[in-house]
A and B are shown apart, each in its own frame.
Chain A
Amino acid sequence: MAGTPAAPVTPAAGTGGMFSASTNRGFFAKLKKAYSWYTGGFLVFVILLAIAEQMGLPRVWIGYIFLVATVGLYAGIGIIARTSDAAEYYVAGRRVPAFFNGMATGADWMSAASFIGMAGTLYLTGFNGLAFVMGWTGGYCLVALFLAPYLRKFGQFTIPDFLGARYGGHIPRAVGIFAAILCSFTYVVAQIYGVGLITTRLTGVPFEYGIFLGLTGILVCSFLGGMRAVTWTQVAQYIILIVAYMIPVVWLSVKQTGVPIPQIVYGQQLQKVTALEEKFINDPKEIEVRGIFKARADAAAAKLKNAEKAYADDKAAAVAAVEKAKAENAPPEVMTPLEKALGGFPVDVAAAKAGWTKEAALAARAAPPLRHAEAFPGKDEPARDVSRRNFLALVFCLMVGTAALPHILMRYYTTPSVRQARESVFWSLFFIFLLYFTAPALGVLAKFDVYSLVVGSQYANLPAWAAAWAKVDPGLLSIVDVNKDGIVQLAEIVLGGDIIVLATPEIAGLPYVVSGLVAAGGLAAALSTADGLLLTIANALSHDFYYKMLDPNASTARRVTISKILLLVVAIIAASVSAQKPADILFLVSAAFSLAAAAFFPALVCGIFWKRANRWGATLGMIAGLSITFYYMATTQPWLRGLFGVTSSIADNTWWGIGAISAGLWGVPLGFIVIIVVSMLTPAPNREVQELVEHVRYPNLTGDRMVTTAT
């Protein structure tokens, strides 16, 4: 593959950040040149593949070529950037320029959920889905104002490092290690699951193989080169994922409006969508289909009320129908379906109940379509209030969680200076912003295509992409003629969120090579995030637990080796968990945010801005925040309720109508309160700690040099 970057290795592998002014600038210039060549090379590669496709290269081959070329590229960077030096391994030698650290953070940040799931969520939930867009960008304001520059000034390796040094003793560090592993692990399981899914889609290998194939790519990179290799791979991955995201959206925009800047023109499309929504809400055919769903749901709900009797009645009716037909000597075309119905009858009441519960869930499809642009929809004023509260609570949790996820905060240790750390947060958000302000546009453009081209078309000639996807995976798209009129009604379409990004190239009428590119982009997003997370977990264990708590005399080489072994072990455990396909992946991702927010944010912010905060305050604050967040999730989230055997109703356990996804809303304030109250009740931290806070806050204090060089 063209344009493999050679620059990341060219600077001499120094041990510290001992680079003179000219070297830093020279390094930046070299990186810029290398990645420009790389981007150009990547585009040429895609164009060559497109030409090959026109000349008859089979689709499966395109999938394989994308998979092998990109994963091979990441592995190649990993091999070139291999290292066993501690500063290189943990913080990439603190030489990463702000601009490139921003790109790497962007890739680290944007996971499979952002790349593949976000536009679909926006399609399905309209305005309320924008909580994700706001939450996952606005959190960087907190990172910039409260954390990044101070953590960089502190200048150690990990987040538990800061807790350990600031609050003193092993207890705050241990709580930090536990929390870092808890939220990173829940998050990494979801990423590896995403890797498996995309690899399967790209090449057709079974899901379990897909996971381990993708894992190889992750491991070669982080295993050999730690943070250094991960950084330079993430920059490469960011470029692929942003190109892959933009091309189909721009194309779709040109197709619909003639303007290649979707972010500017989709307002007009939104107006058209809104007009179509009003039409669908009042259309008699739509009302008819919704009525059919309502009747089916009501019938099932009625049967569920008295399941035993309904089961006996239904069974008797089915048997009677067959008997009657037999007695009347009915022709086979009447007989066969009746016998089939009896043969397929649920074996017992439990099975029948499961079927009825599924039918009763059709009630959701009996509702009129959602108004995409309406904020906080609800049937009446109290319902709208709850919707608004949940929107704001989710935004809050995602933002604070962003400013507390260790794998993101860790990236700001890698810049050469505090100034660069500040600039780097700006570049991070800028690169993330590029994707996040495009996603809502994609949601609306895709909706317009579905509303105007699919709805109202004949079942006999559906658009090619719709027909193809409905055949491939009914979980992603299913269209069934419920009222048998031969015409597609909106209420007859069920759409899985992931299809929006995956099928956009086909909706826009692009060649298959772009579909391959999109899958490669999703893979880059998932791999880069998994890389960062695995590194965080392995470092928390090797650096914080082993080196700082068990064996402070361990040599550098030994620490790095242990970190590498742990990385392998953690990756294999995470992959085995993913292979089980745990019940609720999306919930796991959002849970990570609430947990991180409650555990880290209060302790980190108080550590920098309040000198009086002490060890007991921080320790108990972290534990209290984590506990209440976890308690609220365990009592209100269906999957966890099942796990812990909670039987009281969800409504009894919710406070103020807030959903389980925003449990951090309780944990963060409680964390602050406990830190403040307990710190005031216990003695102030000693002189040494106060000096550390001053060192982090003020420029040029005597003793600075001593603290920075002691690692």
Chain B
Amino acid sequence: MQLTERQQEYWHKNLTVTSVLLGIWFLVTFVLMYFARDLSFNFFGWTFAFYMAAQGTLIIYVVIIWYYARYMNNLDRVYDVHEGEDE
């Protein structure tokens, strides 16, 4: 099975967006939380670290997945992918 240039390009774009989003995920989860004790300034009543662990990171996770779905589904349209039984 020979891969066309367009397919290589599609996969490359997929890997790029995946790694960028994964980087953000890693940053807010492990790097930010590692410094949680130093991030104890007041943030609308919560300490910043508490807010991030209880709400902030969660919102970022939802946005990461939302963006990935939107980006990839657009990519599918641009590269004219038809699979499954879509609308």
Residues of chain A at the chain B interface (Cβ within 8 Å)? 17-21, 24-25, 94, 127, 130, 133-134, 137-138, 140-142, 144-146, 149, 152-153, 263, 266-271, 373-376, 384, 388, 391-392, 395-396, 399, 415-420, 422-423, 425-426, 429-430, 433, 436-437, 440, 691, 694, 697-704, 708
Chain A residues with CB under 8 A of B50: 127, 130, 270, 373, 375
Inter-chain contact A417/B84, CB cutoff 8 Å: yes
CB distance from A29 to the nearest CB of B (A): 12
Alpha-carbon separation in the docked complex, A25 to B55 (Å): 34
Alpha-carbon separation in the docked complex, A634 to B3 (Å): 48
Inter-chain contact A430/B1, CB cutoff 8 Å: no
CB distance from A371 to the nearest CB of B (A): 10
Chain B residues with CB under 8 A of A437: 54-55, 58-59
Beta-carbon nearest neighbor of A395 in chain B: B29
Inter-chain contact A145/B73, CB cutoff 8 Å: no
Which of B46, B62, B83 sits near A417, CB closer than 8 Å?
B83
Beta-carbon nearest neighbor of A139 in chain B: B61
Inter-chain contact B33/A392, CB cutoff 8 Å: yes
Q: Which A-B residue pairs are the 5 nearest by beta carbons?
A: A267-B45, A417-B84, A699-B81, A375-B36, A422-B69
Inter-chain contact A700/B83, CB cutoff 8 Å: yes
CB distance from B69 to the nearest CB of A (A): 4
Chain A residues with CB under 8 A of B22: 141, 145
CB distance from B84 to the nearest CB of A (A): 3
Inter-chain contact B46/A422, CB cutoff 8 Å: no
Inter-chain contact B49/A375, CB cutoff 8 Å: yes
Beta-carbon nearest neighbor of B15 in chain A: A609
Which of B47, B64, B86 sits near A419, CB closer than 8 Å?
B86
Inter-chain contact A267/B83, CB cutoff 8 Å: no
Chain B residues with CB under 8 A of A141: 21-22, 25, 61, 64-65
Alpha-carbon separation in the docked complex, A654 to B85 (Å): 51
Chain A residues with CB under 8 A of B33: 134, 391-392, 395
User: Using an 8 Å CB-CB cutoff, how does the interface string of B43-87 with A read, 1 for contact, 0 for none?
Assistant: 111110111011101110110111011001100100111111111
Considering only residues 12-55 of chain B, those with a C-beta below 8 Å from chain A are: 14, 18, 21-22, 25, 29-30, 33-34, 36-37, 40, 43-47, 49-51, 53-55
Which of B43, B45, B87 sits near A21, CB closer than 8 Å?
B87
Chain B residues with CB under 8 A of A399: 29
What are 28 pairs between A and B in contact, CB < 8 Å? Answer: A24-B86, A25-B87, A127-B36, A141-B64, A145-B25, A267-B44, A267-B46, A270-B50, A373-B46, A375-B40, A388-B36, A392-B30, A395-B33, A416-B84, A416-B85, A417-B84, A417-B86, A419-B86, A420-B84, A426-B69, A429-B61, A433-B61, A436-B58, A440-B55, A698-B7, A699-B83, A701-B1, A703-B1
CB distance from A391 to the nearest CB of B (A): 7
**Chain A interface SS verdict (over half):** helix
Chain A residues with CB under 8 A of B45: 266-271
Alpha-carbon separation in the docked complex, A24 to B78 (Å): 22
Residues of chain B at the chain A interface (Cβ within 8 Å)? 1, 3, 7, 10-11, 14, 18, 21-22, 25, 29-30, 33-34, 36-37, 40, 43-47, 49-51, 53-55, 57-59, 61-62, 64-66, 68-69, 72-73, 76, 79-87
Which of B21, B25, B62, B76 sits near A699, CB closer than 8 Å?
B76
Alpha-carbon separation in the docked complex, A415 to B87 (Å): 12
Beta-carbon nearest neighbor of B17 in chain A: A145
Chain A residues with CB under 8 A of B49: 127, 375
Chain B residues with CB under 8 A of A423: 69, 73
Chain B residues with CB under 8 A of A429: 61-62, 65
Chain A residues with CB under 8 A of B80: 699-700
Alpha-carbon separation in the docked complex, A419 to B9 (Å): 19
Chain B residues with CB under 8 A of A392: 30, 33-34
Chain A residues with CB under 8 A of B59: 433, 437
Alpha-carbon separation in the docked complex, A374 to B22 (Å): 28
Inter-chain contact B7/A144, CB cutoff 8 Å: no
Alpha-carbon separation in the docked complex, A437 to B49 (Å): 15
Beta-carbon nearest neighbor of A704 in chain B: B83
Beta-carbon nearest neighbor of B28 in chain A: A138
CB distance from A8 to the nearest CB of B (A): 18
Inter-chain contact B87/A133, CB cutoff 8 Å: no
For the A-B complex with A130-B50, A138-B25, A699-B76 known, give 10 more contacts whose Cβ atoms are closer than 8 Å: A24-B87, A138-B61, A267-B46, A271-B45, A373-B46, A375-B49, A388-B37, A418-B83, A422-B73, A700-B81
CB distance from A601 to the nearest CB of B (A): 14
Alpha-carbon separation in the docked complex, A440 to B49 (Å): 13
Inter-chain contact A144/B86, CB cutoff 8 Å: no
Inter-chain contact A699/B61, CB cutoff 8 Å: no
Alpha-carbon separation in the docked complex, A144 to B79 (Å): 20
Beta-carbon nearest neighbor of A18 in chain B: B85
Chain B residues with CB under 8 A of A703: 1
Inter-chain contact A422/B68, CB cutoff 8 Å: yes
Inter-chain contact A425/B69, CB cutoff 8 Å: yes
Residue from B55, B57, B65, B68 whose CB has the most chain A CB atoms within 10 Å: B65
CB distance from A685 to the nearest CB of B (A): 14
Inter-chain contact A134/B53, CB cutoff 8 Å: yes
Which of A422, A691, A702 sits near B72, CB closer than 8 Å?
A422
CB distance from B23 to the nearest CB of A (A): 11
Alpha-carbon separation in the docked complex, A327 to B22 (Å): 81
Inter-chain contact A138/B57, CB cutoff 8 Å: yes
Inter-chain contact A133/B54, CB cutoff 8 Å: yes
Alpha-carbon separation in the docked complex, A704 to B57 (Å): 38
Inter-chain contact B81/A694, CB cutoff 8 Å: no
CB distance from A215 to the nearest CB of B (A): 34
Alpha-carbon separation in the docked complex, A138 to B45 (Å): 24
Beta-carbon nearest neighbor of A28 in chain B: B87
Given contacts A141-B25, A391-B33, contact A699 B47 (CB under 8 A): no
Alpha-carbon separation in the docked complex, A94 to B65 (Å): 22
Chain B residues with CB under 8 A of A374: 40
Which of A134, A388, A436, A702 sits near B34, CB closer than 8 Å?
A388
Inter-chain contact B72/A17, CB cutoff 8 Å: no
Chain B residues with CB under 8 A of A418: 76, 83-84
Inter-chain contact B54/A440, CB cutoff 8 Å: yes
Alpha-carbon separation in the docked complex, A440 to B51 (Å): 10
Inter-chain contact A699/B79, CB cutoff 8 Å: yes
Given contacts A422-B73, A694-B1, contact A433 B62 (CB under 8 A): yes
Which of B37, B55, B85 sits near A375, CB closer than 8 Å?
B37
Chain A residues with CB under 8 A of B37: 375-376, 384, 388
Chain B residues with CB under 8 A of A94: 84-85
Given contacts A133-B54, A144-B68, A375-B36, contact A698 B3 (CB under 8 A): yes
Chain A residues with CB under 8 A of B34: 388, 392
Alpha-carbon separation in the docked complex, A419 to B71 (Å): 11
Beta-carbon nearest neighbor of A424 in chain B: B69
Inter-chain contact B30/A144, CB cutoff 8 Å: no
Chain B residues with CB under 8 A of A416: 84-86
Chain B residues with CB under 8 A of A425: 65, 69
Alpha-carbon separation in the docked complex, A701 to B10 (Å): 13
